[in-house]
């Protein structure tokens, strides 16, 4: 079958003929209709996560998919041929830039019925990230104040809608040209990051979702009220993350050192910081499907490419400027 792979880290992806997926007893073979693109794809290709995700090359890239079930493994329950599904396959089983993929049933969920498969393919990774940040780690409640950075991006567009669904007052940072767009998603307060300093404009926040890291993370801690929490999805991992992944002691020690300054700042301010590296979850996707079909969350697809142009689509992520997600469609 056709797929897009890279042969060694830092090399570009290219089309190749690869073996058909092996379908295990708990696996579902899916005919891929569309695949979402994420910055994570580029970071994996560049080797940024080799210490925690040591993939063997050549590797098929791709972390999001929507498509139709072809067949199921002997122990699969709840899926059958013809079902329309979507997923973020678990780490070490990625590879959605392909015509077909075998996905563990635990990572899979029925696709929303009110949107196209192309739109569904844009959602799994970013929607799971938003869910795990706001619901699992943030425990966001009604009437709390939530700041979502980069509100026009893939994670931001979903996180704004989810936070609003949870009843929070939502602030976000975007360029001035995206102010009306994110207001339409539910943002109550919009900060133009080019002309305003969010850390002086905002105060007393319960939760911040930081997708930028660095100085932005340090400033995010300052807008929290005592007891508030910042969850970072880009930047310094924390010791809890290293322990959760079962990393070796040397890597865990290095990660503790990298995050020491941030954790010390948080402690001094009376707030907390946690790092999130999202995980696959079919159960959470089922809850997200319900929100989509009820109209509480809508996907945002800013660019679509044909499957043959997957390398160009991936390269386009570096240029930015796309609202929401970029998707490739498989004929």
Indicate which CATH number applies to the domain containing 211: 3.40.50.720
Rounded-to-integer distance, Cα 113 and Cα 199, Å: 41
Rounded to the nearest 10 degrees, how much is the dihedral formed by the CA atoms of 300, 302, 306, 310? Answer: -100
Does one domain contain both 134 and 262?
yes
Task: Quote the domain boundaries for residue 58.
Answer: 2-122+300-329
Local confidence band at 239 (pLDDT 50, 70, 90 cut-offs):
confident
Shared domain for 267 and 135, answered yes or no, is yes
Could you tell me if 86 and 134 lie in one domain? no
Looking at the fold, whether 114 and 144 belong to one and the same domain comes out as no
The pLDDT, as a whole number, for residue 53 is: 85
| Segment (H or E) for 310 | helix 310-316
pLDDT at 249 over 90: no
CA distance 227 to 270: 6
Contact status, residue 149 vs residue 165, Cβ threshold 8 Å: no
Give, rounded to a whole angstrom, the gap between the first and last alpha carbons of the chain: 13
- Stretch among 104-113, 144-153, 248-257, 314-323 having the lowest mean pLDDT: 248-257
The pLDDT value recorded for residue 148 is: 98
pLDDT grade, residue 257 (50/70/90)?
Answer: confident
Q: Does residue 213 come out as left (phi exceeding 0), alpha (psi in the -120 to 50 range) or beta?
A: left
**Can you give the pLDDT at residue 321?**
85
Q: Which contiguous run of DSSP H or E holds residue 47?
A: none
User: What's the rounded mean pLDDT across residues 130-147?
Assistant: 98
Using 50, 70 and 90 to split pLDDT, how confident is the model at 5?
very high
- The answer as to whether 228 is a domain residue is yes
* Per-residue pLDDT reduced to its tens digit, 207-228: 999 999 999 999 999 999 999 9
Q: Is the pTM of this model over 0.75?
A: yes
Q: What is the pLDDT of residue 253?
A: 79
């Amino acid at each position: 079958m056709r797929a897009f792979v890279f042969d060694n880290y830092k090399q570009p992806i290219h089309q190749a003929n690869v073996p058909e997926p092996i379908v295990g007893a708990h696996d579902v073979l899916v005919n891929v209709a569309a695949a979402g693109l994420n910055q994570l794809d580029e970071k994996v290709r560049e080797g940024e996560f080799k210490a925690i995700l040591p993939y063997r090359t050549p590797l098929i890239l791709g972390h999001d998919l929507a498509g139709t079930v072809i067949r199921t493994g002997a122990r699969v329950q709840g899926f059958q041929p013809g079902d329309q599904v979507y997923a973020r396959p678990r780490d070490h089983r990625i590879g959605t830039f392909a015509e077909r993929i075998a996905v563990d049933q635990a990572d899979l969920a029925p696709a929303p019925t009110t949107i196209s498969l192309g739109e569904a393919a844009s959602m799994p990774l970013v929607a799971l990230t938003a869910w795990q940040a706001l619901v699992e780690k943030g425990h966001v409640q009604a009437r709390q104040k939530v700041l979502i950075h980069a509100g026009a991006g893939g994670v931001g567009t979903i996180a704004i809608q989810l936070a609003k669904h949870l009843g929070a007052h939502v602030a976000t940072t975007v360029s001035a040209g995206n102010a009306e767009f994110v207001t339409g998603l539910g943002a109550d307060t919009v900060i133009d990051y080019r002309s305003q300093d969010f850390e002086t404009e905002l105060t007393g926040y319960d939760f911040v979702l930081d997708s930028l890291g660095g100085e932005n993370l340090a400033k995010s801690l300052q807008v929290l009220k005592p007891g508030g929490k910042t969850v970072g999805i880009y930047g310094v991992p924390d010791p809890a993350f290293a322990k959760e992944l079962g990393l070796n002691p040397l890597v865990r020690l290095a990660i503790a050192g990298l995050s020491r300054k941030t954790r010390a700042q948080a402690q001094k301010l009376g707030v907390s910081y946690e790092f999130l590296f999202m995980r696959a979850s079919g159960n959470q996707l089922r809850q997200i499907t319900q929100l989509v079909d009820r109209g509480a969350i809508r996907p945002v697809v800013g660019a679509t490419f044909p499957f043959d142009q997957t390398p160009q689509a991936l390269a386009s992520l570096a240029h930015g400027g796309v609202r929401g997600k970029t998707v490739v469609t498989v004929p």
